Chain A
Amino acid sequence: MAISTVATAPELAAPRRPATAGRTLWRFVRKKPLGAAGALIMLVIIVTAVFANLVATHDPLATNAAHTLARPSAEYWLGTDNLGRDIYSRIVHGARVSLIVGLASTLLGSALGGVIGLLSGYAGGKVDLATQRVLDILQGLPLLVLALVMSAALGPSISNVVIAISVPIIPRAARVVRSSVLSIREMQYVEAARGLGLSHLRIAFRHVLPNTVGPFIVLCTAQLGSAILVEAALSFLGLGVPEPYPSWGRMLSISAAEYAHKAPHLVMFPGLAISLAVFGSNLLGDALRDTLDPRLRGA
């Protein structure tokens, strides 16, 4: 998604599309090696998640009493857990859960927040002021605490975890979109649209919204990492994705801590998987921010 966005930037959408896209990609790799590394990491994780059934070597849910807490070996690449389940296969399938929850909650929260920010920034005045105060309240609560209370309130299920993680993202997304709307609103072409007698909603969604896409994409990549982290923390505390889905966070939970001394691989590998996914999205997010939104460079 990320790379195609770069490639279809208006000035690059030249007639000779395939060659241009390839060249743009190459330029991105050369100019932003860290960002390209992030994109590669994300690509690997996405492919793993999509083809989890092919990539995994065992059934992630199958227990095996004969091989509990096995060390990494040729048979069990990353060892087995206390129930004899293959950790490698669980991490591979866990990528699905982490990515689905991370992407869905980021998109949901950013979309809702984006619309709120768009309308609030475009309307201005009292509506804007009131919206900002409400967002202050939501943003004042630490992300994890809000998600914790939300997921406890909604009960454990994948869709509820998505909602719980997306709510704290709303105020952050609204802020970002609002601040770019504030400057776009004053542009002459918006005035021209108004002069043509277009309705406010049409101007807001058709003429203002497309110009906030840059900061919006940057925001989404940045939030993806923290959404994955929050999911891990919630699952670790037993308030996240329920059994039987293998989740990276739950693999680290209390039962793993109990066996940690006997089998450190129980703790190491799921944590590395989380860190790698978040690291990848952070690297990519940084590079995209520099490319798409020069005003935020280095912020």
Chain B
Amino acid sequence: MKSYVAQRLAVALLTLLGMSLVIFLLLRLAPGDIVDILFSAAGYVDPQDKKAIMQELGMNRPYWVQYLEWIRGIVTGDLGKSYRYELPTWQLIRPLLPVTLELAALAIVIAVLLGVPTGVVSAIRQDSGLDYVLRVLSLAGLSMPSFWLAMVIILSLVAWFDWIPPMTYVGPSQNLRLHLLQFLLPALAVGYRSSALIMRITRSALLEVLREDYIRTARAKGQTPGLVVWRHALKNAMLPVVTVIGIEFAFMIGGLVVTETVFNLPGVARFLVQAIQWRDYPMVQNLVMFISIVVILSNLAVDLLYGVLDPRVRYGH
């Protein structure tokens, strides 16, 4: 088990390194840089001034020097300065992290609470009217853009309660109830989509397990149907479900990009869009890197959970 963990960690680190290279190069492909954007307002660019700023920001050095410097910074904890704000990147990113992580965590909890039970019900009542309704509902969830769902939620709140959630961020220490309400709505919009995926996987995994011999044995022993499903079948059906939960958690951050924008929440995702528009390379690099780390970590967690859920995996690879 130990060597398995070590091996997984090594692969994860290599993948992260590869991702950093991809991100770095992609950004350098972009036409225009922050200097152009800063000067476009002024209309005229003095080449001398432009050179001075490039020099100051360290943008005139060869790419490989810039890249190595960035990687060294990540290792030593010095993430460099934002071009736009002229503040250390870490100082800008740190307050964003709890917002995004809280939102993603809430959304995944909602997704699991909605997705697993409906998936179980749908599997037990396979091909019934209820199964059809649940499947169509989940497919509908997969089809709606989550940012649109978020807008519709806001609109219906206005229509029915004449109330909208505060459009400025409310900290948990300021007003806990309002804070939770403010987070619950976007989490619901994003979580519904993920719940659809979790429901489908739960349903199909459970259907497969329910056909196995040991389930028939359990039934033959006279165990109640509920016990058969919840204790015998679900545990083995959970493997693919856990995978999807892990993947969804990682990908949720992507979905949050737009939802955070709609609800005006100061999170990583919304900031990323602004940083991209400003060609603020240090910010974009580090924000995408943060997202990649979350993705890698949740994949790793899924891999390790496999070992716990399914003893066979431990001795496999």
Interface residues of A (CB under 8 A from B): 34, 133-134, 136-138, 140-145, 148-150, 152-155, 225, 229, 232-233, 236-239, 249, 252, 257, 260-261, 264, 267-268, 271, 274-276, 278-279, 282-283, 286, 297-299
Instruction: Determine the distance from Cα of A229 to Cα of B14 in the docked complex, in whole angstroms.
Output: 31
B296 adjacent to chain A (CB < 8 Å) = yes
B302 on the interface (CB 8 Å rule)? no
Interface of B is mostly: helix
Mind listing 23 A-B residue pairs with CB under 8 Å?
A133-B14, A133-B18, A136-B18, A140-B15, A140-B299, A141-B292, A141-B295, A153-B26, A153-B29, A233-B145, A233-B147, A236-B145, A237-B257, A239-B276, A257-B151, A268-B152, A271-B145, A271-B148, A271-B151, A274-B144, A276-B143, A282-B142, A299-B204
* Contact flag A144-B255 (CB < 8 Å), given A149-B284, A252-B151: yes
Residues of B4-41 whose CB lies within 8 A of A: 14-15, 18-19, 22-23, 26-27, 29-31
**Given A140-B295, A141-B291, A152-B30: A271 and B254 interface contact (C-beta under 8 Å):** no
| A-B CB pair tally, cutoff 8 Å | 139
Least CB distance, A55 to chain B, in whole angstroms: 22
Q: B17 — nearest CB in chain A belongs to which residue?
A: A137
Contact of A143 among B152, B201, B254, B299 (CB under 8 A): B254
CA separation between A261 and B208, bound complex, in Å? 48
Partner among B14, B201, B291 whose Cβ is within 8 Å of the Cβ of A145: B291
Quick check: is B253 within 8 A (CB to CB) of the other chain? yes
- Please report which residues of chain B, range 180-220, place their CB below 8 angstroms from some CB of chain A when the two chains form the complex: 200-201, 203-204, 207-208
Distance in angstroms between the alpha carbons of A140 and B253 in the assembled complex: 12
Q: Are A279 and B255 in contact (CB under 8 A)?
A: no
A148-B273, A283-B139 known; 19 new pairs, CB 8 Å cut-off, are: A141-B288, A141-B295, A145-B257, A145-B288, A233-B145, A236-B145, A236-B258, A237-B257, A252-B151, A257-B151, A260-B154, A268-B155, A275-B140, A279-B139, A282-B139, A282-B142, A298-B200, A298-B204, A299-B204
Q: Bound state CA distance, A150 and B22, in angstroms? A: 11
> With A and B bound together, what is the CA distance between A149 and B201 in angstroms?
30
A155 to B27, CA, bound (A): 11
Please tell me if the beta carbons of A134 and B18 are within 8 angstroms of each other in the complex. yes
Q: Which of B80-113 contact A (CB under 8 A)?
A: none
Q: Which residues of A contact B299 (CB under 8 A)?
A: 140
Partner of B257, one of A144, A150, A276: A144
Chain B interface residue number, banded: 35 or more
B288 to A140, Cβ gap below 8 A? no
Q: Which residues does chain B contribute within 8 Å of A233, judged by CB atoms?
A: 145, 147, 257-258
Contacts of B170 in A (CB 8 A): none
Question: Does A271 lie within 8 Å of B258, measured CB to CB?
Answer: no
User: Quick check: A279 and B140 within 8 Å, CB to CB?
Assistant: yes
* Residue contact B158 to A275, C-beta cutoff 8 Å: no
Q: What residue in chain A is nearest B264 (Cβ atoms)? A: A257
> Which listed residue (A153, A257, A260, A271) contacts B30, Cβ 8 A?
A153
Q: Which residue of chain B has the shortest Cβ distance to A280 in the bound complex?
A: B143
**Do the beta carbons of B148 and A142 come within 8 Å of each other?**
no
Against A, the Cβ 8 Å flags (1 = close, 0 = not) of B56-94 are 000000000000000000000000000000000000000
CA distance A149 to B270 in the complex (A): 13
Which residues of chain B come closer than 8 Å to A136, judged between CB atoms?
Answer: 15, 18
> Given the complex, which residues of B lie within 8 Å of A149, measured CB to CB?
23, 26-27, 276, 284, 288
CA distance A240 to B97 in the complex (A): 27
As a 0/1 sequence over residues 268 to 306 of chain B, the CB contacts with chain A under 8 angstroms (1 = contact) are: 000011001100000010001001100110010000000
Interface centre among B15, B18, B147, B154 (most CB of A within 10 A): B147
- Known contacts A148-B273, A149-B276, A155-B31: does B145 contact A138 (CB below 8 Å)? no
Docked Cα-Cα span, A267 to B148, in Å, equals 8
Q: In the complex the two chains form, what is the Cα distance from A140 to B250 in whole Å?
A: 9
By the criterion CB–CB under 8 Å, are A278 and B143 in contact? yes
